[in-house]
């Protein structure tokens, strides 16, 4: 029979991707300097041809799964507005804003996001 569990309180680091040139968000260069293996997608800035996606600023985020023979084809995509988190083992992964805000609260004194 399954039992209920609660996440332990841990502090993580997170940066929000808001697209290139947006001062409030992290830039690709800042994310890379942080140690996060990110690369622009193949359709960087050119859109993917779908209506409403004329400009596509998605990032591919390298995670602990990448590089494994079983998961070599897995691509973790961070879209504009997503958060990129560094977890307790130093791993990076993207997280949708709604999930991030439901799961985390600021650990900073000034409570800025």
SS (H, E, C) 93-111: EEECHHHHHHHCCCCCCCC
Domain range for 49: 13-103
Each residue's pLDDT expressed in tens, for the chain with a length of 113 residues: 999 988 888 899 999 999 888 888 999 999 999 999 888 886 666 655 555 555 678 898 987 665 555 555 567 889 999 999 998 888 899 999 999 999 999 988 755 54
Residue 24 lies in a domain: yes
Domain count, the chain: 1
Assess if residue 5 is contained within a domain: no
Residue 3 within a domain: no
What does the block give as tokens for 4?
């209920």
How deeply is 36 buried, as exposed, middle or buried, from its count of CB atoms within 10 A (0-12, 13-18, 19+)?
buried
Q: Please, what is the average pLDDT of the chain?
A: 81
- Asked whether residue 69 is domain-assigned, the answer is yes
Please answer whether residues 16 and 81 qualify as being in contact, where contact means their C-beta atoms are separated by less than 8 angstroms: yes
Task: Residue 106: count other Cβ atoms within 10 Å of its Cβ.
Answer: 10
What percentage of the chain carries pLDDT values higher than 90? 36
Give a yes or no: residue 30 inside a domain: yes
Q: Is residue 108 part of a domain?
A: no
User: Is the residue at 80 inside a domain?
Assistant: yes
Give domain status of residue 111, yes or no.
Answer: no
Count other C-beta atoms under 10 Å from residue 69's C-beta: 5
């Amino acid at each position: 029979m399954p039992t209920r569990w609660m996440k332990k309180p841990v502090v993580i680091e997170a940066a929000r991707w808001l697209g290139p040139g947006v001062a409030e968000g992290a830039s690709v260069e800042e994310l890379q300097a942080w140690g996060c293996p990110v690369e622009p997608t193949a359709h960087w800035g050119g859109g993917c041809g779908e209506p409403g996606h004329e400009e596509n600023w998605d990032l591919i985020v390298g995670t602990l799964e990448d590089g494994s023979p079983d998961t070599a084809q897995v691509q973790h995509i961070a879209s504009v507005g997503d958060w990129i988190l560094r977890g307790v083992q130093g791993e990076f992964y993207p997280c949708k804003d709604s999930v991030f805000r439901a799961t985390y609260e600021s650990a900073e004194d000034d409570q800025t996001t």
